[in-house]
Chain A
Amino acid sequence: MNVTTRTDVEALTLTTTAELSATLERSWQLVSDPRQLERWWGPPEWPATFVTYEFEVGGRAHYFMQGPDGEKMHGWWRFTSIVEPREVAIEDGFADEHGEPAGDLGVTTARLMFEPIDSGTRLTILSGFESAEQLEEMQKMGMEEGMRLALSQIQAILDGIAAKPR
């Protein structure tokens, strides 16, 4: 699979583009079905579980990611836009164990756009941050997770490359 990323320091956004070898309808399930979403939102060592999922504009979701020592990191989403099967936009923040917004890290945003192409579907993800401080704080939180993951991810990436249709 071809994945490209682009960062915009000025706007504090990241753009990730992936060309999926699946139809638009199939690709849409990756976000409309929380069971599908759980398979890719969290890293293998911090798998995500969505406890609630109100897939409608203004609807909320509560999820947690569970680490190797059993620790849980809770998060919430709010759907700000849903245009089936083309676009989903969410706000994502840290939550307490009941899924209520918690902490002072603020909100990050993600807009996932799906478009049909000859080989399947192009997925473009635009993710945004509030400030550089937020970016810094979030990176610190993700650092330990990242270190633990490095090795298993390398394998997953290699498997992904091996599984790529030729």
Chain B
Amino acid sequence: MVVDEVVDADVDAMFRALADSTRRDIVTRVMNDGISVSRLASSYDMSFAAVQKHVAVLQAAGLVSKHRSGREQIVRGDMASIHRIQDLLSHFEDVWRKRALRIGDVLNDDKRENR
């Protein structure tokens, strides 16, 4: 399975990489389509070098890949990694959602008993 390729140690790097709003924004934008570093740089109020640094952090965390196309460097989201993160958090979302639903059941039983 693809997700198994993401080893434990990487997960922490992913979360740290995502703990920055610009980097989260970059990941969101390159999720569906590759975007060149220069085009990304033009949409942020920061230097080309700064944007390149953010991309490098994301790349090291395995969240994006970068490849050359002519004179451009194209950044693309790594969907397997992104899904892994979503998967982790959604598992716990699910645990608590089900607890909340069971609380609803407990309260509904009150009503049945009172009938």
Contact = CB atoms under 8 A, between A and B. Distances in A.
Contacts of B108: 160, 163
Given A14-B89, A22-B107, A139-B91, A132 B11 contact: yes
B8 interface: yes
Contacts of B11: 132-133, 135-136
Contacts, number: 112
Interface stretch (B33-41, B46-54, B67-75, B94-102): B94-102
If over half of B's interface residues share one DSSP class (helix, strand or loop), that class is named, otherwise mixed; here it is helix
17 contacts: A1-B104, A3-B97, A5-B93, A14-B92, A16-B97, A18-B104, A30-B103, A39-B106, A43-B98, A132-B88, A135-B89, A139-B88, A142-B91, A146-B91, A159-B105, A160-B101, A163-B108
Interface residues of A, number: 43
A146 B93 CA distance: 12
Interface of B: 8-9, 11-12, 14-16, 18-19, 24, 85, 87-108, 110
Nearest to A127: B96
